[in-house]
Every structure is written in C-alpha cells, then in structure tokens.
Structure 1
Amino acid sequence: MGWWFVALMLVLVPWHPRNPALWLWVLMSCLPEVHPCLLCFGPTLQRARLCSYVTGLPVEHPRHKICLADLVRAAKQLASVTVGSGQREELRDIVIDAMNFIEDQKGNKPFRASLREAVNTIWVKLSELEKVPACIPPCGFQPDARVFQCATCRFVDCQFALDCPVQDLWTYTDETIVLHCNVPFKIPKGTPVTWLFVPNLRTQDMALFKKVNGNPEKPFSLTIEEPAPGTVACILGEPAKPIVRKFFYLNVSEGSVEEEKELQGVFSTVLQSLDAEKSQPPIPALGLAVAAGSTAFVLLLLATWQCLCVRQTCHRRGHQGTREDSRSLDSV
C-alpha cells in the first residue's frame, strides 16, 4: 500500500464513521491474505457489503470477523485461476454470480455452506471454459496464449523474447535454397511478413539489415538463388510491433552441388559394399581351420613333387653324363 492509500483512509473515515460497507472495503483492501480474485470484478459496494449484509453486524463484531476469515480461506482456493485474455468477462460473470448466490442464500443456508457451494460452482463453470493454448518456446509474442490472472487482476503474456535464436544453414554458391518464416503457434490472419538481409555477418542487430523483396504470392517463404554468406531475417507482424523475428545464417561454400553429389555417390557405393560383406554368412571356425590345413597339405605335396622331379632330372642328367664319359674313354 502506498502513502496515498493511508491518506485516503484518513479522509474517508471521518466522513463516514458509521458506514460499515466502506469500512469493510477498506479492511478487505488492507488484508494481504484476501486473494484479489474476489476483488477484481463488480462494483466496490457489492464486494464490500457481503459480510455486512450476510451477518447484519458491524465490522467490530466477532461474527463479522469470522465471515471475513471464511472469505479469505475461500479466496485462497482461487489462487491459481487463470483464463484466456478473451475470457475475462466470463470469469467476471462467474465470480459476480457466486457472490450474488451467497447473498440470495441469506436465511436459507448457513454462510459457510453457501460459500462452499458458491466456490464449487465457480470451479465447475471454469472447467467448462475453453482451455488456453500453452506458451511454446523459445520465442515470439503469442496472442492466443495471453492469460488473465485472478491473483493479480492483470493480463500476462508469455515471457519469451521476440528474437528467435540464429539458425545455421549450409549451402553452396550454385544451390537454390528456400527459407520459411513459420512458427509453431497461431498468428492472426493476414499478418504481414518482412524479409531482410545483411551480408558477411552473423548478427541480430536490426539496424544493420536491409529489406529484400520476397514473393507476394508466397510471403512466408523466400527463395534465394546463388546465395551469399550473411544473415537473413524475417519479421512477422508490423516492423514497429512485431510478433516474432527469425534469423538464418547462411554458411556458403565455394564448391559445387554436382561435386558433392558425386562424392556422396562414391561414399554410398563404398558403404553398400561394406554392408554386402557384412551380410555374408560367417565361416565356422572349425571349417576355416580344416580349409587352412587342407591348403597347407596340398602346398606341401606340390613342393615335395617338385623336389622329386628335380632330383630325377638331375639323376638322369648325371647318368647320361657318365655314359658319354665312358664312351670317350673307350675311344681313346
């Protein structure tokens, strides 16, 4: 409470010393435990006169204080109530109807019983309201997710920045790319789109961007032929009052798309051959040992055979040589 409220009390009390409704309004406004949901709607006197009307007693009476304590406990049950921004008037009607119900039950039911029934009716009617969409991170102003808080009597928006994180894209100088300025939450129909670009920089400083022309028939997408390094930004909503700003940083390589496709083809062929080798059934270890032994045995036989052939050839040559020598000696 500010000093102005204290001054207001000092002015009003002498003027209305016997006005229980005013006293009740002052008292309920000073009580921090009284949840504002019961104070958000309806005329001030309607809210203030409730306990005075129900009890018919002055503010100082113990029963009147008990009535206020019951209201505090009931109000705490509504601490978590939030509705969509467009449902504020419905919430107002629900709360005022509950207070009117309590007044109408005077003399028919005990105050606590009528208060409990009124609170239950509030929850039933709240459950029938359309659910508010949740805030979807990480960025952007989301009108449909705006809520009215019963705790503060205020509208509350999603606590996200308007600027989305920069998204990296990799491309080539001869490649055509398409950027999309879409968001995961609902936006008003007919929302304008603005595309901007700054070369050779990764930035979110809007002062550095310059507007680029998009496709009027497809405003939510931007087609770029022969891209250049830099940051592309799109703004949903009026630039002076945006809903969201998205950023794309273009990492542009000097290579060719065709060269990249060829390399990918070679790489795919190698992977396929490796997969084919892996898909062949494995040779059992015993079979592999037998095959190796058989091969070694065959090689051993071949080597032995070659040695025998060499020996036989040498023996024949030696025998023939002995005969020729004996013949030469006989001639002498």
Structure 2
Amino acid sequence: MALLSLVSTVPSALLALLVSRASTWACLLCFTTYAERFRLCQMWARAQGPRRVQQCQDAFTAAFEGLSNMEINYEERSRLQDAFTQMVLSLQEAAVAQGSFEDAFPAAAEEMRKVISQLKEVHPCVPPCGVQEVARRFLCHKCLSTLCDLPLDCPVQDVTVNRGDQAMFTCVVDFQLPPEEITYSWKFAAGGMRTRDVSYFQDVPQARGYLARIRPVQPKHSGTFSCVIKHDQRPLARLYFFLNVTGPPPRGETELQVAFREVVRWAPRDAEMIEPWRPTLGELLTRPEALTPVNLCLLAAVAALAAAMMTMLAWMFFRWYFSGN
C-alpha cells in the first residue's frame, strides 16, 4: 500500500518518463547476437577465465538497462541496426586497445541513447478504425513489429437527404494512406437496412474512386452504402454510410406519375445505383481536394490552347482585312 501511495503522488509526466525508461535492454538483444556479445567479452577477458567473461556479459547487460524499452518507428529499424553494428565494432577496437569494459559499456550505451533520440518518432494510431501501415512500430521487448489495435470496420455514418436531392459520399480516412496502388470499391445493402454485416451487401461495380453520389435520391436508395479502401488488394478500411431519404413526393404527383417517372428515368440506371463523382468546372474551382496536379495541368493546357486559338484567329482576321484593302 505504501508503494501504491508513492506512485500516486508522482506527477503523470514523470510517471510516463519512468515507465518509458524501465529496465529494458531488449533492444540490445534484438540488434546484436549472443555470439557477438560472447566473442566481445572473450576479447576483453582474454586468459582470465570464464568467470571474467561472465562478469563482462553482466556488465554489458547492466549498461543497457537504462535505455528505453521503446516502440521504434518501423522505418528506422535498418538505421538502428547499423548503429548497433557500428557500436560492436567500436567495442572490439576498445578491447584490442586493452581498455576497460567497465568504462566502455556505459559510454557505448550513452551513444546509443543519442542515436535513439534522433530516430523518427512513431506515428500515433488514429482512431477509430483502419489498418494504418504508417503507424507500424517495432517492439524491442518482443523483437517484432505490430500495427495499431484498431478494427477494419469504421462506425456507420448517418446521411439524411430529402427526396429528389443529391447524396454524396466521401470515402476518406484520417490516417495517411500509401501513395500508390490505392483502390476503392462500393457496395449497397438495400431495404433501409442499417448494418455492417458484409453478407447483406451487393457490389456496385460502376462506382469507382473515393467520391460517389446519387441524384436524384429516391426512397428505394435508403440503406447502407459501404466503401472499401484497398492497397495492393489488401483492405485498409471499410467505411459505412446509412442513407435516410426523407420528405414526401413532389406536390401534385399521383402514384401513377411517380411510377412512370421511375420507369423512364431510373430503369436504365438501376444496376448503377451510385455513380462516381465527375466534377464540373465550377466544382473543381470550389473543391480544393479536386485541384490535383493533373487537373491543374489540364486547366493550364486548355487555357493555353484557347489563348493560342484566339491569337491565331485575330492574326488571320487582320491579314484578311489588310489584304482586301
């Protein structure tokens, strides 16, 4: 109880520091082999016998107990491996020079501490869902890598739209996606069902990209739409949008008129259901995310072509005019 009382009085920041600096020399075991450590201590012990070798190994372990049992950015593993390899070579040189391992090991641990402090930080996990490869970290105490412990399925987002209006779904996540080989696929669970059970969904093959819309919205579109984000065919996240269609039919319409319009306007597009977003020029200018480098280049090319055509027409007009005179 006294120990618990003592811990409770430690400020949270200091407590976090103590936890991160717990007794952990596991990084040493991950990035060096037993043979390397044993051979190094043999060089220091020379003919002093196995007892001196054991003392050297114990000192090696003790020197690195002050290092953090940290979660290392997965991309920094090779850099840390190189640093440990260079450390072993430096210790071998010190052993050949007949230095003292009681002094050499703490100095080496301090140098490794500096290297570790310069590594890129681990990216935080962004809730509530998704396979976040950018946040992958390497655990020294287990000598393995791990991802964020988050589900693949995201919570259902509610979207309410009046009948006859437009419904737009944006398939984006808050964490960073890989820069290449990202694909999007859409599915629909009809009948006004609000669900994340994949067995109720059917593919909507015509819908592609991270933006999709339905226009005009009709009651039959009530249900759950799902977007699956994949990287190289591996699912990264599944987003869900529950579409609730509200409002009565337009004034003056009879049931027969409604049915006739459904047949004329929607029958050819029933299989399509949801369409990809094809922005107009006005939407491009009002939506910053649509102004991609490709779209900007296309706009610049169109503007340059229009200017060249106007210049050519003006030159031809003046040439005709003055030649006639």
Q: Same fold (TM over 0.5)?
A: yes
The range that moved more, 235-244 or 144-153, is 235-244
1:242 aligns with 2:232: no
Secondary structure at 1:250 match in 2: strand
In structure 2, what is the equivalent of residue 314 of structure 1?
none
Once the two structures are superposed, residues 225-279 of structure 1 have per-residue CA deviations (whole angstroms, 9 ceiling, x without a partner) of 2152111110000696200111111122134799xxxxxxxxxxxxxxxxxxxxx
In structure 2, what is the equivalent of residue 192 of structure 1?
183
1:65 aligns with 2:58: no
Cα RMSD, aligned residues only: 2.6
Instruction: Work out the CA distance in 1 between the residues paired with 2:48 and 2:130.
Output: 52
CA contact (8 A) 1:230 1:250 kept: yes
Instruction: Work out the CA distance in 1 between the residues paired with 2:58 and 2:227.
Output: 55
1:209 aligns with 2:173: no
Q: From the superposition, tell whether residues 195 and 59 of structure 1 become closer, same or farther in structure 2 (CA, over 3 Å).
A: farther
Instruction: Work out the CA distance in 2 between the residues paired with 1:152 and 1:163.
Output: 28
Instruction: Work out the CA distance in 2 between the residues paired with 1:54 and 1:242.
Output: 53
Residue ranges of structure 1 left out of the alignment (5+ in a row):
1-32, 259-332
1:109-128 equivalent positions in 2, closer than 5 A: 109-128=99-118
Task: Give the residue type in structure 1 aligned to 2:166.
Answer: T
In structure 2, what is the equivalent of residue 75 of structure 1?
64
Instruction: Work out the CA distance in 1 between the residues paired with 2:49 and 2:153.
Output: 54
In structure 1, what is the equivalent of residue 245 of structure 2?
252
1:35-184 equivalent positions in 2, closer than 5 A: 35-42=25-32, 44-56=34-46, 60-61=50-51, 63-106=52-95, 107=97, 109-184=99-174
Asked which structure has the greater CA Rg, the reply is 1
Task: Give the residue type in structure 2 aligned to 1:68.
Answer: Q
Instruction: Work out the CA distance in 2 between the residues paired with 1:239 and 1:103.
Output: 45
Q: From the superposition, tell whether residues 75 and 256 of structure 1 become closer, same or farther in structure 2 (CA, over 3 Å).
A: farther
CA contact (8 A) 1:214 1:222 kept: no
In structure 2, what is the equivalent of residue 231 of structure 1?
224
Task: Give the residue type in structure 2 aligned to 1:114.
Answer: A
Instruction: Work out the CA distance in 2 between the residues paired with 1:69 and 1:212.
Output: 64
Instruction: Work out the CA distance in 2 between the residues paired with 1:255 and 1:239.
Output: 44
Task: Give the residue type in structure 2 aligned to 1:190.
Answer: E
- CA shift, 1:111, in A, is 1.2
Instruction: Work out the CA distance in 2 between the residues paired with 1:52 and 1:187.
Output: 49
Task: Give the residue type in structure 2 aligned to 1:153.
Answer: C
Instruction: Work out the CA distance in 1 between the residues paired with 2:68 and 2:231.
Output: 36
Once the two structures are superposed, residues 48-86 of structure 1 have per-residue CA deviations (whole angstroms, 9 ceiling, x without a partner) of 32222222256741x433323322223333342332222
Residue ranges of structure 2 left out of the alignment (5+ in a row):
1-22, 252-325
In structure 2, what is the equivalent of residue 329 of structure 1?
none
TM-score in terms of structure 2 length: 0.62
In structure 2, what is the equivalent of residue 9 of structure 1?
none
Secondary structure at 1:38 match in 2: helix
Task: Give the residue type in structure 1 aligned to 2:58.
Answer: A
Once the two structures are superposed, residues 125-164 of structure 1 have per-residue CA deviations (whole angstroms, 9 ceiling, x without a partner) of 2233233321111110011110112221101111111111
Instruction: Work out the CA distance in 2 between the residues paired with 1:58 and 1:256.
Output: 96
Q: How many residues align?
A: 223
Instruction: Work out the CA distance in 2 between the residues paired with 1:253 and 1:215.
Output: 24
Task: Give the residue type in structure 2 aligned to 1:206.
Answer: V
- CA shift, 1:179, in A, is 0.6
Task: Give the residue type in structure 1 aligned to 2:187.
Answer: L
